[in-house]
Structure 1
Amino acid sequence: MRKIILNVAVSLDSYIEGPNGEYDWCFDDQDYGLTDFFKACDAIFIGRKSYELIMRTDPKMFAAMKIYVFSDTLHDPQADNVEILRSADFKNRVEEIRSQEGRDIWLFGGAELVEAFIKNNLISELLLSVHPVILGSGNPLFTNIKERINLVLLGAEQFSSGLIQLRYIIKP
């Protein structure tokens, strides 16, 4: 079974976007393991807003991956490698895709999609790139999670920039 890995940049105060939706606080001075991560994945789960942002800013970013966009409002996928998934068949389709042959699947986000995956126990690993910045406000990584979820640390890597990558699994 393929792993679904939440790989996301997060501020020290757990925001994934600044107050105006900006990502200018995310470091891009090093690779931070992204090249190897991209090679390990052949598909991406992404929410509509994140997908539309990528299509506006860097439409070729995920050209080598199968892109699954979760949306009940998007109708034109804009590319051959894109499939739109509706909320009505969310869990069944995710399980079906996860059971297909292939490499890992990147859970890109946004926050509402992450919440749905957590609530349905569909995340295999969490790879959090914690940036040494406090944003004070913005879009938090975890919204509407009302129960404790225990994690097991698989590893941590510190970079010269001060960024720390934490790899977790959800404790069984």
Structure 2
Amino acid sequence: MRRLIVQELITVDGYVAGPDGELDFFDSVSDYSHVDRDNLQILEDVDTVLLGADTYRMFVQYWPTADEPVANTVNTMPKLVFSSTLNEAPWGTWQPAEVVKGDAAAKVADLKRQPGKDLMLWGSLSLARSLTRAGLLDELQLRVVPVAIGSGEKLFPDDLGRLDLELIEGKLYPSGIISTRYRPRRTPGA
């Protein structure tokens, strides 16, 4: 069965965006090369990228023309954009992303039952939260950026409830970023 992996950049004080959604904390680290190398390895086991509409709008401004080692993989991999407002999702000169309307959890549950490699969700807070609430999360990868911003948007809102996680791997990069990988602890019979 395919797995759903959610990967997020996060501050040491637990925020994935500033109070107004700003992501300028990404710039506190100038070298993401080790993270990119690890992502290339991770993406060998992924065949579909999942994005929400806002993250798609941000990504499409950068990735189709990016000059980074991971760019070709990101650009050539099939992408699904979950949106109630978009009708199309071009990706520069690359194959466009497919727009998915309707119940994201039902679509992802169906995708997980189909043959194929893993599914990767980047950013896309609303989508990550709804898929986690639906019990579809198989692995959470956090890239902890060595900066505190004091306030902002948390990955999981207060009303999510408890989510017990088991550490799979922890790694420190020379840039100061710490990479952690977790899987949800499943209770017997769940």
TM-score by length of 2: 0.81
- Indicate which of 87, 97, 105 corresponds to 1:91: 105
Other-structure match for 1:71: 83
State the SS of the aligned residue for 1:6.
Answer: strand
- Indicate which of 97, 102, 105 corresponds to 1:82: 97
TM-score by length of 1: 0.89
Counterparts of 2:108 and 2:160, CA distance in 1: 23
The one-letter code sitting in structure 2 at the alignment partner of 1:84 is V
Q: Deviations over 1:69-94 (max 9, x none)?
A: 111011122144411122x3322211
The alignment-based identity, stated in percent, is 29
- Indicate which of 90, 110, 121 corresponds to 2:124: 110
8 Å CA contact retained: 2:141, 2:179: yes
The answer to which of 15-24 and 62-71 deviates more is: 15-24
Counterparts of 1:78 and 1:89, CA distance in 2: 22
- Indicate which of 55, 60, 79 corresponds to 2:60: 55
Structure 2 unpaired stretches of 5+: 66-70
The one-letter code sitting in structure 1 at the alignment partner of 2:132 is I
The one-letter code sitting in structure 1 at the alignment partner of 2:169 is G
State the SS of the aligned residue for 2:137.
Answer: coil
The 3 A distance-change label for structure 1 pair 120 and 23 is same
8 Å CA contact retained: 1:3, 1:125: yes
1:24-39, aligned counterparts within 5 Å?
24-26=24-26, 27-29=29-31, 30-32=33-35, 33-39=38-44
Query: Could you say which structure has the higher helix fraction?
Result: 2
State the SS of the aligned residue for 1:50.
Answer: helix
The 3 A distance-change label for structure 1 pair 146 and 89 is closer
State the SS of the aligned residue for 1:25.
Answer: helix
State the SS of the aligned residue for 2:44.
Answer: helix
State the SS of the aligned residue for 2:183.
Answer: strand
Other-structure match for 1:153: 167
Other-structure match for 1:14: 14
Q: State the 1:170 CA deviation.
A: 0.7
Superposition RMSD in Å = 1.8
8 Å CA contact retained: 1:65, 1:81: no
Structure 1 unpaired stretches of 5+: none
Equivalent residues, number: 171
